Chains A and B, each alone.
Chain A
Amino acid sequence: MNIYLPIAEVSVNAFLLLGLGGLVGILSGMFGVGGGFLMTPLLFFIGIPPAVAVATGANQIVASSFSGVLAHLKRKTVDLKMGTVLLVGGLVGAAAGVQVFAALTAIGQVDLLVRLCYVVFLGIIGALMFVESLRAIRRARASGGVVAPRRSRGWVHALPFKMRFRTSGLYISVIPPLLVGLFVGVLAAIMGVGGGFVMVPAMIYLLGMPTKVVVGTSLFQIIFVAGFATIMHATTTHTVDMVLAILLLLGGVIGAQIGAGIGVKMKAEQLRVLLALLVLAVCGRLALDLLLMPGELYSVSDAGTAP
Chain B
Amino acid sequence: MTAHLRHFAAAFLAAMLLAIPGAAPAERVVAGLSRDAISITTNFEGSEILIFGAVSRTAPPPDGAPLHVIVTVEGPARPVTVRRKDRRFGIWVNTDGIEVDAAPTFYAVATTGPLLDVLSQTEDLRHRISIPRAIRAVGTGVEDLPNFTEALIRIRTDGGFYQLNEGAVDLRDQTLFDTSVRLPANLVEGDYRTRIFLTRDGAVVDAFSADIAVRKVGLERFLFNLANGQPLVYGLLSLAIAIAAGWIASAVFRYIRT
Interface residues of A (CB under 8 A from B): 1-4, 6-7, 9-11, 47, 59-60, 62-67, 69-71, 74, 109, 111-112, 227, 230-231, 233-235, 238, 240-243, 245-246, 249-250, 253-254, 256-257, 261, 290-294, 296-305, 307
With A11-B185, A60-B242 known to touch, is A240 a contact of B235 (CB < 8 Å)? yes
Cα(A4)–Cα(B44), bound, Å: 6
B245 touching A63, Cβ below 8 Å = yes
> 6 A-B Cβ contacts within 8 A?
A7-B227, A297-B86, A298-B152, A299-B85, A299-B94, A302-B79
A300 touches B152 (CB 8 A): yes
Give the number of A-B contacts (CB < 8 Å). 188
A143 to B86 Cα, complex, angstroms: 53
Asked if B246 is an interface residue, CB under 8 A from chain A, the answer is yes
Q: In whole angstroms, what is the CA distance A291 to B93 when docked?
A: 10
> Are A67 and B245 closer than 8 Å at their CB atoms?
yes
Contact A242 B241, beta carbon cutoff 8 Å: yes
Interface footprint category on B: 35 or more
Q: Interface of chain A, helix or strand or loop or mixed?
A: helix
Minimum distance in angstroms from A226 CB to a CB of chain B: 9
Residues of A within 8 A of B248 (CB): 253
CB distance from A47 to the nearest CB of B (A): 8
Name the B residues within 8 Å of A307 (CB-CB): 81, 83, 94
A9 nearest CB across to chain B (Å): 6
Asked if B99 is an interface residue, CB under 8 A from chain A, the answer is yes
Closest 4 CB pairs of A and B: A234-B235, A66-B246, A11-B185, A298-B151
Q: Is the CB of B247 within 8 A of A234?
A: no
How far, in angstroms, from A89 to B90 measured CA to CA in the complex? 37
| Known pairs A63-B245, A66-B247, A291-B91; A230 contacts B44 (CB<8 A) | no
Bound together, the chains give a CA A70 to CA B220 distance in angstroms of: 32
Chain B residues with CB under 8 Å of A233's CB are 235
Is B121 close to A, CB under 8 A?
A: no
Q: Are B186 and A111 in contact (CB under 8 A)?
A: no
Residue contact A2 to B250, C-beta cutoff 8 Å: no
**In the complex with contacts A6-B220, A257-B253, A231-B246 CB distance below 8 A:** no
Which residue of A65, A231, A297 contacts B85 across the interface (Cβ within 8 Å)? A297
